[in-house]
Structure 1
Amino acid sequence: MKKEIIYSSGNYLRDEFKIEGYLFGKQSEGLEPAACIVGAMRGNEYQQLYICSQLVKRLKELENSGAIVGDNQILVIPCVNNFSMNVGMKYWVSDNSDINRQFPGNFDGEPTSRLAAHLFERVKGFRYGIHFASFFRSGDFVPHVRMPATGKESTSLASLFGLPYVLTSKQRNFDKKTLTYNWQINGTDAFSVYSGETDNIDVNLARKAVSAVLRFLTRMGILKYNCHNGYIASIIEEEDLVSVKASAPGFLRRFVTINEEVNRGQLLGEVINPYNGEILSEIRSTADGIIFYAEDQPTILENASAFQVIKKLHE
């Protein structure tokens, strides 16, 4: 294992900012940049950082046992935004910008754009790119691999992680500024892996995420590693997800959890008046299917999504 500085910059208020990476495999020039794994880009992505820390630990053990095949190199970058993490902010400290909306970056741009440019310069060219991303809304959701539909995505490769679902989504404007999208259009088979947690560390989910990456690397011929086969992934599109919304604001009381099979009309939760405890509205499923996402906050706004259901997946 070799530790390297991916990017550094001075700061007049704090110590020097550094992005650190861990390189596994033979250390000579001209070797095969096989796989790059990137962790936390936001200051609240503790689970993503923890997963990468466990991955670094496991890869070090595997490297020492000779498990890295041939000239393959694996680069792990656990954290891209430790400044924000240290001060409890989600986005970049000085201007509240999101690093994962800055790619491929600009070497002469604003701080996060410069950071993205230097990071992308180092990670492009790998055969496979894996980003441990965080879900755009709070709540519980089923672990899955997600990728934007660029025309270069491969659901068959994504299924080799052995996670329950592979989800594709239509291109949105902000997708074009993400690491995964730019990896894809520059020739890297790229995947966003969602472990099921963000703000808190879930050791069990983290262990499954590490296993998923090691399983993928093994199936791609990068590692020699005996692993469980995992799931036969179901391929779904974002359009297969049906949002079930709350019709009133208040306390949210849930009756179901993720991965639970539900029927149309089934009571999923209730919205409670915060002042008198009366039931303001019932939240009932609008489709037969499986709960993919469930809000976990104590309160909910009117017309906010309380659940997402994968419709008719069980039929």
Structure 2
Amino acid sequence: MSDKEVLHILGEDVALGESAKVSFNVAKLHTQNTIDVPVIIERSKKPGPTVLITAGIHGDEVNGVEIVRQIIAKGINKPKKGTIICVPVINVFGFIHMDREFPDGRDLNRMFPGIRGGSLASRVAFKLVTEILPHADLVLDFHTGGADRFNAAQIRIIKNEDNLDELAQVFGAPFVLYSKHLKKSFRNTCYKLGIPVLLFEGGKSFHIDKTITNTGVNGAKRVLHHLGMLGSKFKVSKPKKACIYITNSKWIRANYSGMFKSTITINSEVKKGEVLGNITDPYGSFNHFVKAPNDGYIFNINESPIIYQGDAIFHISTKFK
């Protein structure tokens, strides 16, 4: 942890009060070119906790990468005490090709804790878990909605963890979603190692949304302020609204294929039977209204103009507080 005078990470030594940019390298391209994945480390002269800030586990989740980029560019990652480690793009292979997965077709977030001699994705997972993660006291992991599904800004945590409940409230996203750990995910591995993690979801793939990035950056500032790590030059504002805690939810799926348009906005509170959008055909002969099956909040909307029967088009809370 960062109370050590010298942090030994990825073959480099970083003392208290020092800054460093070290390389997280696992493999070369097939052209033998080396890809350097920068890991940005900022250490205060004053000992304190270590916060690991990550993004880009999926290569197409650029909104999360932008949040971490802003945290670094604005100097938010320079702590008043302790250490902040930023890894803006974990899956750099996917990021280069604008692809969710690795070149071998594997989803990195289903490969943890990884294997030293395994597949490319598994090796990246293994190196992250063995050489970076052990230094962390807390992880802020930034994600984005997949495909054309736009996620409301939300923190995902498991139930019955008082520390996570407190940190999620401090972060101040509009929603806190209680969700189980997925097997072989980064979050599940952190949990098994006893390292608390706040997983942030917001926006959609291949897209940078200003509201989502602002929520992510401000949330990170609030957490760092809560830990006594945020630099004194930064102002921290309270969230405009109290967090909604979603304890249960369901996907509303399309009953028909066709052209789809949502008529409500993300974060909306809706009533049972309220029209959420409509599905039409290109010929003007068909128009199906999608209605809310229950009272709740809409925290994910499919923004694809073309959908197929069975596609997930809205994520709605069924129980919340």
Give the TM-score, by structure 2 length: 0.85
Check if 1:262 corresponds to 2:273: no
Specify the alignment match of 1:76 in structure 2: 86
Check if 1:24 corresponds to 2:81: no
Say if 1:176 and 1:59 are closer, same or farther in 2 by CA, change over 3 A: farther
Specify the alignment match of 2:250 in structure 1: 242
CA distance in 2, matches of 1:149, 1:262: 25
Query: What do residues 113-156 of structure 1 show as CA deviations (whole Å, max 9, x unaligned)?
Result: 11111111212241110111223453222101012459687222
Specify the alignment match of 2:121 in structure 1: 112
Question: In the TM superposition, what is the alpha-carbon distance from 1:99 to its structure 2 partner?
Answer: 1.2
Specify the alignment match of 2:195 in structure 1: 188
Specify the alignment match of 2:213 in structure 1: 206
SS at match of 2:145: coil
Query: What do residues 211-245 of structure 1 show as CA deviations (whole Å, max 9, x unaligned)?
Result: 110111111222244200114322222x2x23322
Check if 1:223 corresponds to 2:230: yes
1:150, 1:181 within 8 Å by CA — same for their partners in 2?
no
Match for 1:92 among 93, 102, 105? 102
Question: In the TM superposition, what is the alpha-carbon distance from 1:176 to its structure 2 partner?
Answer: 2.4
Give the TM-score, by structure 1 length: 0.87
The one-letter code matched in structure 1 to 2:56 is A
1:125, 1:187 within 8 Å by CA — same for their partners in 2?
no
The one-letter code matched in structure 1 to 2:268 is E
2:52, 2:139 within 8 Å by CA — same for their partners in 1?
yes
CA distance in 2, matches of 1:37, 1:160: 16
- In the alignment, structure 1 segments of 5+ residues that lack a partner are none
The one-letter code matched in structure 2 to 1:252 is F
CA distance in 1, matches of 2:275, 2:225: 43
The one-letter code matched in structure 1 to 2:198 is F
CA distance in 2, matches of 1:203, 1:309: 23
Say if 1:27 and 1:220 are closer, same or farther in 2 by CA, change over 3 A: closer
> Identity of counterpart residues, as a percentage?
22
Provide the aligned length of Structure 1 versus Structure 2: 299
1:148, 1:181 within 8 Å by CA — same for their partners in 2?
no
2:171, 2:220 within 8 Å by CA — same for their partners in 1?
yes
Specify the alignment match of 1:277 in structure 2: 284
* Aligned-CA RMSD value: 2.3
Check if 1:57 corresponds to 2:73: yes
Specify the alignment match of 1:251 in structure 2: 259
2:245, 2:320 within 8 Å by CA — same for their partners in 1?
no
Specify the alignment match of 1:177 in structure 2: 184
CA distance in 1, matches of 2:84, 2:319: 39
CA distance in 1, matches of 2:228, 2:44: 16
Say if 1:204 and 1:262 are closer, same or farther in 2 by CA, change over 3 A: closer
Question: In the TM superposition, what is the alpha-carbon distance from 1:312 to its structure 2 partner?
Answer: 6.3
SS at match of 1:204: helix
